Structure 1
């Protein structure tokens, strides 16, 4: 398993030892020598090391790894990792996942009764605040450098800042907008102002980013800016009450026409290339051709108890053989609800004695059923209630385990934006009758389904294509990738009674909750520190 370039840079540059305990979005890194023109920004080559820290802030949690010198205080270090918290806020709150652990604030997520002091909603705000602070400092200092290379680095830093604000926009709505390092308490910006900032940044930097797939693996190019614009515009009606589906369609087409491609390698046993996207060698097995923006992990060089280490270990329990997943054991926590399992009912090929599905023709139905109950009667401490998910593994396409010989930490990279999602963005706009071509959308969906089935048996026709189908297809293709809450809000199904799943709202059969829960609260201590801020409605 090769060590990715950015991971090397983070490890060999002690000058980048940053710590942050943010009270707001405008805080300086605590270490006054972290970003200085004399030692980090003297040349573009040195600045590249600082850029690596901006990427690493999304994958790592501190300076020692996997624990011991955290970037963020007040929360378990492994829990504070960005993609682990993204899973907690955008998947555990939905039909896609439950977790049996009783950590303070964690059971409240699926029950949808969190408060303003919830550790997870607070921790994510701080993690994103850290990224904004780091990128602001980088952009300021790197501005003294000259040349195309330095311009590329600044554009990448601005993309990462825009991505952080995209998350803040989605999760919290009205937040402070800080574009430079400052010691003053910031004013609160409206959700529309945050939206406009993200849009303007991405439009402005797109030509300064490198051409499609011309950058190193793990770093973004201009297609990432187009893809994030596609996502931003797709949610515009939900977030700022403005129909921008045409713009989403336009940028989706730009992404689709780039040099990224759907992974269709058939190197695994069941003939489906879908699972290769989530294996330990997904940086080299062909999956990387589909990854527009991914967070890189390495079991030896970038250790964390978040990331895919969390997704693999936490999803193993019951009678599941951990060795088949390339790790030394399971944490017995994550399962899914029958609502997700039933999305694949059209592809069931075998059932158990109770009539529950146990095998599917659709290779995306990656569930472990042996000893597991489809129905969830008890979430806490009962791993066998609910099917387990086998989507993420720490083995390569030949079955070899990842690089950590102890089996603790995982090599599998995690895509945050991949081409398949943009296919589905295009299809959703068409299904909403906001533009595009039905035949083209059907073609994109069939390309994904041919990969999933290994042949054309799962293909659809134009008569099968509609909005409800596309909604379910997004769930089937993208589950556990940090997308679901955002999608359900866009469909007006997250808090309403129009779609229920087990234990939604804390009820076994599911119930509607207050609509203000479409947004998470700003951390209560942030509100107490900064009188310029107003808490989100309902909290």
Structure 2
């Protein structure tokens, strides 16, 4: 199934390369770390060929899907998160901050580390999920920085790498730069003003990393993606699960759509430009919406641009799509294709009401489990209050078991689409409606109706006229199309509906019917440990 980060990755990933043995993510010490490995698998042995570099690159990718604790190089992930390794998975941390804080999700277990206060939008700077994502993102950035250093032209020359191998390794280096840019885009969106640590910082002087302002970080991410665009493999030519040019275009279109939030200056025309690159690259909508998030969704190369790959036997942890498969409350094992549900995730009635027909018989994107569940979330932490999700199912499109199902059915085989064509269509439409040039309302309407035709199982009954195509409609349609795909918080902020009274949902602000909250919650706080250790850092306003 997941051809790059699966079978050999679990057993080899932690052996391959241990030069980066730890990170206080803002590099808490001003002294250089002792990077001498404790085993005999040194850089000089790993980096002798393109094959060796590819194995090391697998560790960079693997940081998306594998978890770890202090013994494997993540000493700064909060202790309460480490107790359950699944909580240290990048996707679970990121998903929680993007979804549990919105109308799309609530979680039953208020005693779970970091959960209480997320949906209520009342967290503090010591929240372990907030701090955990920060450290996890920087952990992967550190792996990227080291790989970028190891694959420099100087090192390739010193190690006698042949020119043909060097050409291949430079593509690997561009992929590592893409992953680093992606993680900095996450930090820009979530925290606003983190420290900036690059390969030069890692090599360079004795000073602690400097904080970068959000608009400057935007410029950095943009410049990195443009610099590597032509170094990455052409769209649709790389191995499944690895970055190509379309992945860079998709990330650029996403940050351009949100540029006004990040920098104060709109970039809708640029968003359209990069959407056009994607739509001209041969991607098409997969013909069945409900096959986007199931166990053999690795077959969806028609629509998927970039994924985090999970495998039931080789990437076992309780984060990622395992969390999205098990988490929904009340869903029977035979429906989810798992060993049972955790009684955790539910959905507010305000989000459910985006669908006129909640059964899914009309719009197939309505994948709710309703039996034994109340639609209204009358009590935030009662597992039967709120419908549940059946969107992530560990079964194949034929209804059979997952290709790499573990015997106990504990772990997911479902890959997570970080970027797919459906988002591109909606980005294009919104950017056109907001005044961007280089596109047309006719094409925007066509893209939206293609999504709706698929959702309505090939029927045009759900198609809308041009008069219905508004920015507010796009927000609702993004909800219907992209729900549980870790984008809702960012979308609500862009529409000024996250902290304000312009849109209320159950228990927003800790009030049953919802209330506006302090605008500071549009950004998460930086971890106090980094603020204490690095005097260059300043906390976000209000924390």
Report the TM-score when normalising by structure 2: 0.91
- Structure 1 gaps of 5+ residues are 265-272, 349-356
Match of 1:298 in 2: 311
Could you tell me how far apart the structure 2 residues matched to 1:511 and 1:360 are? 33
Quick one: structure 1 residues 114 and 298, their matched pair in 2 at CA, closer, same or farther if it must change by over 3 Å? Answer: same
**In the TM superposition, what whole-angstrom CA distance separates every residue of 1:176-216 from its partner, at most 9, and x where no partner exists?**
11112156411111111111110000000000000111100
Contact 2:68 / 2:88 at 8 angstroms: preserved in 1? no
Mapped pair 1:339 → 2:340: no
Shift of 1:24: 2.7
Partner of 1:98: 106
Partner of 1:283: 298
How far apart, in 1, do the equivalents of 2:360 and 2:181 lie? Answer: 42
Which residue number corresponds to residue 108 of structure 1? 117
DSSP 3-state at the match of 1:252? helix
Partner of 2:57: 51
Displacement of 1:18 in angstroms is 7.1
CA RMSD of aligned residues (A): 1.9
**Is residue 222 of structure 2 the alignment partner of residue 213 of structure 1?**
no
Rounded Cα–Cα distance in structure 2 between residues aligned with 1:263 and 1:421: 13
What SS does the corresponding residue of 1:109 show, helix, strand or coil? coil
Query: Match for residue 220 of structure 2?
Result: 197
CA positional deviation for 1:324: 2.3
**Residue in 1 aligned with 2:337?**
326
Is 1:178 matched with 2:177? no
Residue 354 of structure 1 aligns with which residue? Answer: none
2:3–2:239: 8 Å Cα contact kept in structure 1? no
1:227 and 1:422 in contact (8 A); partners too = yes
Q: Is the 8 Å Cα contact of residues 36 and 141 (structure 1) preserved in structure 2?
A: no
* Aligned partner of 1:307 among 301, 309, 320: 320
- Map residues 399-418 of structure 1 onto 2, 5 A cutoff: 399-402=399-402, 403-418=405-420
Question: For structure 1, which segment, 387-396 or 456-465, has the greater mean C-alpha deviation from structure 2 after superposition?
Answer: 456-465
Conserved 8 A contact 2:126-2:528 = yes
1:534 aligns with 2:538: yes
2:429 and 2:521 mapped to 1: Cα distance? Answer: 28
Cross-structure match for 1:242: 265
Structure 1: distance between partners of 2:295 and 2:394: 5
- TM normalised by structure 1 equals 0.91
Which residue of the partner structure matches residue 390 of structure 2? Answer: 390
* Paired residues of 1:26 and 1:133 also in contact (CA < 8 A): no
After TM superposition, the structure 1 = structure 2 runs for residues 513-528 of structure 1, keeping only pairs within 5 Å, are 513-528=517-532
Supply the distance in 2 between the matched residues of 1:409 and 1:389 (Cα, whole angstroms). Answer: 17
Alignment of 1:243-262 (within 5 A): 243-262=266-285
What does residue 124 of structure 1 align with?
A: 133
Structure 2 unaligned residues grouped into runs of 5+: 157-162
Secondary structure at the counterpart of residue 378 of structure 1: coil
Give 1:8 deviation, angstroms: 3.2
User: Which position in structure 1 is the counterpart of 2:67?
Assistant: 61
Q: Is the 8 A contact 1:177 1:186 kept in 2?
A: yes
**Aligned length in residues:** 512
Partner of 1:39: 45
Q: Is the 8 A contact 2:456 2:462 kept in 1?
A: yes
The answer as to whether partners of 1:25 and 1:133 remain within 8 angstroms in 2 is no
The answer to which of 130-139 and 141-150 deviates more is 141-150
